[in-house]
Amino acid sequence: MLLLQPLIGLLLISLAHGDCPILISPVDVVVEYGDSFSANCSSTDETIQFGLSWDGYDETMKKTEDDIFVDVTNWEMNLTCYMYSNKTKCSQGLPVTIYKTPDSVSISIVNHRGPMIEGQQYELQCDIYNVAPVQELTVKWYKGQTLLNQTTFTEDNKSPVNETATLQIRPDRTDDGAQYRCEAELDLGEDGPQYPTESLQPLSAELHYTPKPSSSTETIIKNDEVTRTCTVKANPAPTYTSHSEHLKEEISSSVLQSPTLSPGNYTCTATNSLGSDSKVFIIESKESRCPIQLVPWRAVVRYGDSVAVNCSATVPHKGLGWEASEGGVPMTKDKKMITWRVSHLTEWDIQPYCYINHEKQCQVELPVTIYSQFPCY
């Protein structure tokens, strides 16, 4: 019986509403503050004697028996049409939504000036001034043309207010120069006007980030008449130094002229105010270069952990193998790549190398660094 009571109540309300033969045109009104509108109230039943009356109007409104003419100068408006007859007295309200587009919209970074730092978190703030009704307001956040997020509001204010929306971001180097903006949009229904208002000045993100080479190593053949550079993208712009045991002094440049350098390893370091990173150029003579490649080119492994390194032949060969006190691989003629693998490395001074039989036999030693976080007994 308790479950039926809500249904019975709904039925009675529906019948009561259906018994009121009032027609208001339009059925609802969406109007900008300061504009005007008119509405008509009539009966859908011409067989009965009736009288009509508008309630909720003031001295700023004009009305006739059936029509009302309104200049919207008040944010609070509740208009109701009443019908009187010898049979019934009923009423119907006219929903009126009064809106005002924002005076301005602005975007800023909270408690921060100057460039942002890669990886740090920042709060963007969007300020919307003098907008109504706020419960119909949506703030949309964009980076370029990409929608990042949107904010809605639950306050039930009919008159204009100032609102603030925020967005947390953690930019990376790809965001340097990105354009952030916020848009304030009033959703006034499918039949209502649409008024998106962009932020007047998008926020251009200037980002500072450390140097980061595209690769940590590069092999150069000495006889190649080429120039190599370790130039990297960084902000602020980095300075460069190159050093090697084969150089008498550091080179304050990102450029290496391979024909002028002796075979060996050359480290180029890029530095700015946020940090530094390095790239190693391995210069080999054409005659001495062994046509195999180790991936990775060096191994750093914790004592007792596993390790695996691939050795690939870059030319056709007559034999390829790994020589090591642990994990050695016998020479094979039918594979282009073989793997040195140790599941539990406990030899501190292990020196594995990969060898190949090509025009002559040559080998490349794998540098292995073993470390321990705790004393070993």
CATH class, domain 104-208, is mainly beta
pLDDT of 141 reads: 95
State the Cα–Cα distance between residues 210 and 116, nearest whole angstrom: 12
CATH class, domain 18-98, is mainly beta
Domain 292-371 carries which CATH code? 2.60.40.10
CATH 2.60.40.10 residue ranges for the chain: 18-98, 104-208, 217-284, 292-371
HSE-CB at 278 with a 13 A cutoff on CA atoms is: 11
**pLDDT bucket at 259, cuts 50 / 70 / 90:** low
Query: Who contacts 365 (Cβ-Cβ below 8 Å, separation ≥6)?
Result: 351, 352, 353
**pLDDT bucket at 134, cuts 50 / 70 / 90:** very high
Mean pLDDT of 340-362: 91
Torsion, Cα 361 222 316 359, to 10 degrees, reads -40
Q: Give me the chain's average pLDDT, please.
A: 84
Q: Is 121 or 201 the better-scoring residue by pLDDT?
A: 121
Q: Peptide bond preceding 296: is omega within 30 degrees of 0, i.e. cis? A: yes
CATH topology of domain 217-284: Immunoglobulin-like (2.60.40)
Instruction: Give 3-state DSSP helix, strand, coil % of the chain, rounded to 5.
Output: 5, 50, 45
> Tokens for 97?
């939504």
| pLDDT tens profile 226-252 | 667 888 999 999 999 988 888 877 888
State the Cα–Cα distance between residues 324 and 211, nearest whole angstrom: 37
Does the pLDDT value for residue 56 go beyond 90? no
Range with the poorest average pLDDT among 22-36, 41-55, 104-118, 256-270: 41-55
N- to C-terminal Cα separation, the chain: 80
Scan for tokens 């942002």, then name that residue: 116
pLDDT of 359 reads: 76
Does the pLDDT value for residue 258 go beyond 60? yes
Identity (one letter) of the amino acid at 206?
E
Does the pLDDT value for residue 172 go beyond 60? yes
pLDDT of 65 reads: 66
Handedness of CA 108, 113, 117, 122 (dihedral sign): negative
Does the pLDDT value for residue 285 go beyond 50? yes
pLDDT of 13 reads: 31
pLDDT of 286 reads: 64
Q: What secondary structure does DSSP assign to 165-187, as a single string?
A: EEEEE---GGGTT-EEEEEEEE-
Bridge-based pairing of strands 207-208 and 116-117 is parallel
Does the pLDDT value for residue 377 go beyond 60? no
**pLDDT bucket at 5, cuts 50 / 70 / 90:** very low
